[in-house]
Amino acid sequence: MTITQSTRHDHPGISRRTVLGAGAAAAGLALSVQGSAMQPTPSRTPVSGYAPVDGLNVYYEIHGGPLAPGVTPTVLIHGGMMAIETAFAGRSLLRLLAAKAPAIALELQGHAHTGDRPGPITVERLADDAAGVLAHLGVQRAHFVGHSLGGMTSIGVAVRHPERVASLTAISAMYQLEGFLPELVTMQRNPTHTPSAELVPLLPTEADFMAWKAHYDRVAPDPSAFERVLGRLNAMLAQWEGWSPEQLGAIRAPTLLAIGDNDFTRVEHAAEMKRLIPNAQLAVLPGTTHMGIIDRGEWLAPMVEARITSAG
């Protein structure tokens, strides 16, 4: 899900509000391959490329070996202001899932290797971009796994492009802004709000935030765009109308909703999503925060695999 929040400490020259997110784990980045649809090599070394989608070159990496006919890959999508490296490297979920089938990790509009484009950033457009990456790669369907903004995007693909989604795992996601903890909703709509002492431990640390910014500076087409993209994402979330109960009720892909018991998403909201999406499952991970859940790959992977298996 996408989130706008403040870090625990302000940093000179950086907006105090930051969009949170993340994904799963992996080791190493791939060599960049730009241009037409990528032809993966037989090795298990990750390879990467750019998919032209609606005037934007969307960066992706393929882990776990080449795409192959008859094998449904997994798509992993990072959270807000993060990237494949900062969300996945050193964590286990991507590695564990890529050991079962090829995994396509992508970077959303305005994030890391993927540039920005004119017009507002919307969840709907991000979902269309993700579906466009699959079309570029010649992949008919995939198992979608996303955290935070990536979870919202994955839900969006299931709503807008149901034929592309074999199964859906949305981690720390919401379907409406009010699904956040009340103070987070207040912070989203009032940038001057100072986070309470109870909320501060749930937010990313200054070290987290600086790692995201340093990576962005190193790989982004326009390194100066970090704050601008952050502001655009904040505006997107403040204006987002969310998904309707009817849209969630139309999702037919086997769905897993996973949150931490001390997440940004309220447990009650996640339970409501579980009721709205037919045959969805809900996992509430104990002792787990919004940022901490991306380190729970050993817990999440078996549950994700169970949903994938149920997809047939």
pLDDT of residue 15: 37
Instruction: Kindly state the tokens that stand for 19.
Output: 């969009």
> Residue 44: which of 85, 101, 1 has the closest Cα?
101
What is the percentage of the chain residues whose pLDDT exceeds 90? 77
Task: Name which residue leads in pLDDT, 221 or 312.
Answer: 221
Q: How confident is the model at residue 4 (pLDDT cuts 50, 70, 90)?
A: very low
Least confident of 20-24, 135-139, 234-238, 254-258: 20-24
Burial class (CB in 10 A: 0-12, 13-18, 19+), 135: middle
Residue 55 and residue 20: Cα distance in Å, rounded?
Answer: 26
Query: Which residues are 217's β-sheet partners?
Result: none
Residue by residue, DSSP assigns 246-280 as HHHHT--S-EEEEEEEESSB-HHHHHHHHHHSTT-
Q: How confident is the prediction for the chain on average, in pLDDT?
A: 87
The total number of structural domains in the chain stands at: 1
> Residue 1: which of 16, 17, 22 has the closest Cα?
22
DSSP state of 193: P
Burial class (CB in 10 A: 0-12, 13-18, 19+), 302: exposed
- CATH number of the domain bearing residue 257: 3.40.50.1820
Structural domain boundaries, residue 246: 3-310
Residues near 38 by beta carbon (within 8 Å), at least 6 away in sequence: 47, 48, 49, 62, 137
Is residue 175 over pLDDT 90?
yes
Q: Give the DSSP H or E segment for 183.
A: helix 182-189
What is the percentage of the chain residues whose pLDDT exceeds 70? 86
Instruction: Kindly state the tokens that stand for 204.
Output: 């990313």
Return the SS3 of 185: helix
Instruction: Kindly state the tokens that stand for 173.
Output: 């996601």
Contact 7, 206 (CB under 8 A): yes
Contact 178, 269 (CB under 8 A): yes
Is residue 6 over pLDDT 80?
no
Is residue 169 over pLDDT 70?
yes
Phi, psi (5° rounding) for residue 246? -65, -40
- Averaged over 159-188, what is the pLDDT? 96
Is residue 294 over pLDDT 80?
yes
pLDDT of residue 36: 32
